Amino acid sequence: MRESEEGLRRLALQGAWRIVAERTQGFQSAGPRGSKEAWQETAWHALALAKLRAYGAALEVLASADLPAQLGRPQESLDRFYILFQFCDAQRELQSAGLTADAEVRWRGQWSQRQNAVAGSLMAQHCSAREYGAALEWVGWALDQHPDDPVLQSRVGHLQLALGDISAASATFKALSGNAARMPAGLLQRNRGLLLFAQGDFQGAMKEFDGALSADSSDTIAANNRAICHMYACNLPGAIKAIEGDLRSRAAAHLQETVLLNLSSMYELSSAGAAAESKRALSDWAGRSGPDDLDISCIRAD
């Protein structure tokens, strides 16, 4: 019989982690895969294993959290990341008997880093689902941990733009511009470019993205948006030339599915007759030059 949530909580408060581990051993049968019941027992089982210092087994329980999203089950993937976040939180706060003060500091630091990584994944998953409000909440959580991080502060502005709040984004970027010296190369120009693009100033945005790429030629966001600015400014040949140039000069940085999809779409818009050949050439080149996990199917075949 499945242990109740309250029963597991009482056992945990008693420190009876071996019993918790035993009673949640069959967590996969606690309910339909991806159900609340199944995930609750998964979390309890992983936490019990961690408390018993069976860390390898605990990590196996929580392995491959993002794979369901690749199989068309994004909510299941999201649920796993939330469980993993809670697991990291529990580990960070674990009272580690027998550890020296320095070792405990290292322990907490390691689990804080892992928790930050999971929060970043949650942020990305919500963005991918266009759930920008939820993503903004995770950026807020991350900023509570790292209040002076200019990249996180910039993400606030990016999400405000995605939500259509240009005034708020403008205020966010303006506040950041006062600390330009500590910002990564090109980030200030990229922020200004995104804001100008949202305001409809495509020529001004292009200049800012040019500046961002001069500071950091691997900035794919700036490269992609510069090409889109050319399109919105009714210069499709310029857009194609810009993105092809970026791919040739820094393939390792810019050879990504989003860039390939955009370039494929530009070929289709430029010339119906030449699009098929251009896309075939792009597909062949990307297949030879890209990493093994590059999905060239994003270059739509005719």
Average pLDDT rounded to a whole number, residues 262-273: 86
What is the pTM for the complete model shown?
A: 0.70
List pLDDT tens digits, range 19-44: 888 888 865 544 445 556 777 788 88
Better pLDDT: 189 or 17 = 189
Q: 16-38: string of b/e by CB count within 10 Å (b at 16+)?
A: bbebbbebbeebeebeeeeeeeb
Distance CA 81, CA 206 (A): 37
Q: pLDDT tens, 115-141?
A: 988 999 899 999 989 999 999 999 999
Nearest to 94 by CA among 116, 119, 121, 112: 112
Mean pLDDT value across residues 193-205? 96
pLDDT at 170 over 80: yes
Confidence of residue 236 (pLDDT cuts 50, 70, 90): very high
pLDDT of residue 64 exceeding 70, the answer is no
Amino acid of residue 280: R
Gap between the Cα atoms of 77 and 66, Å rounded: 5
3-state helix, strand, coil in the chain (%, to 5): 75, 0, 25
Above 50 in pLDDT, residue 161? yes
